[in-house]
Chain A
Amino acid sequence: DGGITQSPKYLFRKEGQNVTLSCEQNLNHDAMYWYRQDPGQGLRLIYYSQIVNDFQKGDIAEGYSVSREKKESFPLTVTSAQKNPTAFYLCATLIQGPNYGYTFGSGTRLTVV
């Protein structure tokens, strides 16, 4: 059945390393989003993409990069320039329908060690 798959569920990164978080969807949704969530906080938008080969910065894009080569995939790279990357990362797609809301993946918890 359709959904969003985020992998890995847990990820550990050494300081100075780049890591890539995977987000794959089989919902045939055009728009995809990456959010960051810190403990006890709301979600903040990192990047989003409305169509293949196009993406826009969100509110906290510094230290992150994305690509959208396929409709199904929207990977997020956390670069060494991101000074405080430890957080919970959620990927979402946009529901086309009566409530125009989001479908979320189950998230990736990134920890810097």
Chain B
Amino acid sequence: AQKITQTQPGMFVQEKEAVTLDCTYDTSDPSYGLFWYKQPSSGEMIFLIYQGSYDQQNATEGRYSLNFQKARKSANLVISASQLGDSAMYFCAMREALYNQGGKLIFGQGTELSVKP
């Protein structure tokens, strides 16, 4: 069964506007972490933001925020004030058994974001 689902293969956004990238997950583990990574065309994976399952508040990092709805098992990434440099692939990922050493990250299929000038 798919543990991480990103239903938007591609998205377009106008420069300076906000955009939401969707991510839903499936786990029965009470202790897990959710991650978003950005992958530009160069291929490197850039960590953006993290949300722990026990965190009470939604995570924010600069222009990135994570809309965490635990009951709905969703962890959408919101990018405010989009910039041309935000054009990239974005991956949602989950790590179960968060506090066990050597946990594995499970990735979604990704969403390709294109920012229009």
Smallest CB–CB gap between A58 and chain B, Å? 7
With A41-B110, A100-B95, A101-B33 as known contacts, state yes or no: A88 contacts B43, CB within 8 Å. Answer: yes
In contact, B102 and A102 (Cβ under 8 angstroms): no
Give per-residue flags for A75-113: 1 if the beta carbon is below 8 A from chain B beta carbons, else 0: 000000000000010101010001111111011010000
Closest B residue by C-beta to A106? B44
A-B CB pair tally, cutoff 8 Å = 69
Interface centre among B44, B98, B105, B112 (most CB of A within 10 A): B105
Q: Which of A11-19, A20-28, A42-50 contacts B (4 or more CB under 8 A)?
A: A42-50
Select B102's contact among A44, A48, A88, A107, beta carbons within 8 Å. A48
In contact, B50 and A99 (Cβ under 8 angstroms): yes
Interface membership of A2, Cβ < 8 A:
no
Which of under 10, 10 to 19, 20 to 34, or 35 or more describes the interface residues of A?
A: 20 to 34
Select B43's contact among A30, A102, A107, beta carbons within 8 Å. A107
In contact, A33 and B104 (Cβ under 8 angstroms): yes
In contact, A107 and B50 (Cβ under 8 angstroms): no
- State A50–B42 Cα separation when bound (angstroms): 28
- State A104–B109 Cα separation when bound (angstroms): 18
